[in-house]
Structure 1
Amino acid sequence: MQKIPFAALPNVAKFAIALVPFILWVMFAEFVIDRQGWDEFLPFYRYGELCPWDLGVLLVSGLIWWGAERRARVN
């Protein structure tokens, strides 16, 4: 079985791969941060709304996706 380079994947698969860390963050925020009351200790965290923490996770996953895409095109 051969490895499929990231650049050869369809865009839908690339988008799904980039979305997984954000979904994991949302689940962690819902099941741990919100239910345990940790939101009191996170500055700028908003319960049930888009907040800078969410944008940070989106930014990091976007940068990882961009790096993987760039690395695949170079190779």
Structure 2
Amino acid sequence: MDPPIENSSILVHQDKILAIGPAREIKIPRGATRIDCKGLIVTAGFWNSHLHIFTSGLLRVRDSAAAELDEQLDAIFN
């Protein structure tokens, strides 16, 4: 995983990311809408990034073998 890019810019046009990097390296077109995110963190979009998994096998995680847990997680996320 790459480290965070401090003082960076993200250039988006028509719902597509065109450039990401240090602000000094990204040319922002004249008239572009700017959103100041100073002091904030921008992350990749996640679908359902916060969830609680309450399957019977995962509720007994301490009593389950790793292979059984892998199988259950695969069933949930695949």
**TM-score higher than 0.5:** no
Higher helix proportion: 1
- TM-score, normalised to structure 1, is 0.24
Larger radius of gyration: 2
- TM-score, normalised to structure 2, is 0.24
